[in-house]
Structure formats: structure tokens, C-alpha cells
């Protein structure tokens, strides 16, 4: 039997596989407030670039954020038929330009060893962290670049 610590009166910890929006928002608001208290205002702004085909279907794009003088690239994806044609590099170039326009001086992302870490290196990003075995047989890799 595992040991547990006594919680203050009236406090409970529950597991919730499908939390209400307000519960999730309360956690996010609390952490955002603390982060801004400690690190200064976020000035968080999204960076969204879409790749559309002739029928106006989204076939790729980049989703990220700028905050605290950094560009965070959260998602960069292209459909298989568009890969290897310079479109990913162009998405990245445009996102970096947006970030520079917002005063950002650095960018970072994370990817997996099976996703194309060489792409990030070719675009001037340097590895600064690696978590082996995430997932099994692969690695999660963090990259950064000075803008």
C-alpha cells in the first residue's frame, strides 16, 4: 500500500478524464498569472500560417506563439506530396519574420527523431536537449535558433 500525505481540511484530489472547460481554464489562468508575476507580461500572440491547395483545402501549415521575446513553433506539418519541396522552410522563414517583427530574438521547437530533425538543422536550428526512449526506440529532441 502506498503512503499518502494528509491534505488540508476540505481539500481533495480527484481524477477527471473529461474535465469541464472551466476547470481547465482555472488551472491555465492560475499558471499564466504566476508566470507573468515571475517573468513579466507574456504578450502572447499566435503565429498561424496555412498551406492551401487549389480547392482551398488545408494541406499543411505552422502553428506557434510568440511570447517573452521567443517564437515557439508548436506544430509544423505538410501533407506527404508537398514534403521535400521547400515549403516547410518557407513556412519557417515566414514565421521567423513575423517573430522578428514582434521583437523576438530567439526561436525554439521540439520534434521526434522520426519526424525530420535534419530539417531543423538545415534551417539553422541547433539541438539543445534530447529525451531518449520517447517513444520507445526514438527520441524527443529540442531545437533552438537565434533570430
Three-state SS at 85: coil
- Domain borders along the chain are 42-146
pLDDT 10s digits, 122-147: 999 999 999 999 999 999 999 999 99
pLDDT for 142: 98
Q: ∠7-35-112 over CA atoms, to 5°?
A: 95
pTM across the whole model: 0.83
Q: Look up the CATH number of domain 42-146.
A: 3.40.630.30
The separation between the first and the last C-alpha atoms of the chain, rounded to the nearest angstrom, is 52
What's the chain's average pLDDT?
Answer: 94
Could you check whether the bond before residue 55 is cis, i.e. omega within 30 degrees of 0? no
pLDDT 10s digits, 78-91: 999 999 999 999 99
Three-state SS at 50: strand
Q: Are 117 and 143 in contact (CB under 8 A)?
A: yes
Q: Which three cell numbers stand for residue 111?
A: 520534434
Torsion angle, CA of 34/32/144/71, rounded to 10 degrees? -130
Q: ∠141-45-39 over CA atoms, to 5°?
A: 75
Amino acid at each position: 500500500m502506498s503512503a499518502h500525505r494528509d491534505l488540508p481540511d476540505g481539500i481533495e484530489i480527484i481524477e477527471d478524464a473529461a474535465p469541464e472547460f472551466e476547470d481547465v481554464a482555472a488551472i491555465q489562468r492560475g499558471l499564466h498569472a504566476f508566470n507573468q508575476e515571475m517573468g513579466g507580461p507574456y504578450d502572447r500572440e499566435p503565429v498561424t500560417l496555412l498551406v492551401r491547395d487549389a480547392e482551398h483545402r488545408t494541406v499543411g501549415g505552422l502553428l506557434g506563439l510568440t511570447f517573452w521575446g521567443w517564437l515557439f513553433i508548436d506544430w509544423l506539418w505538410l501533407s506527404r506530396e508537398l514534403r521535400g519541396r521547400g515549403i516547410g522552410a518557407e513556412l519557417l522563414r515566414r514565421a521567423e519574420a513575423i517573430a522578428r517583427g514582434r521583437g523576438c530574438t530567439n526561436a525554439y521547437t521540439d520534434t521526434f527523431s522520426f519526424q525530420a530533425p535534419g530539417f531543423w538543422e538545415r534551417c539553422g536550428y541547433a539541438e539543445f536537449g534530447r529525451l531518449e526512449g520517447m517513444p520507445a526506440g526514438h527520441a524527443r529532441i529540442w531545437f533552438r535558433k537565434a533570430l
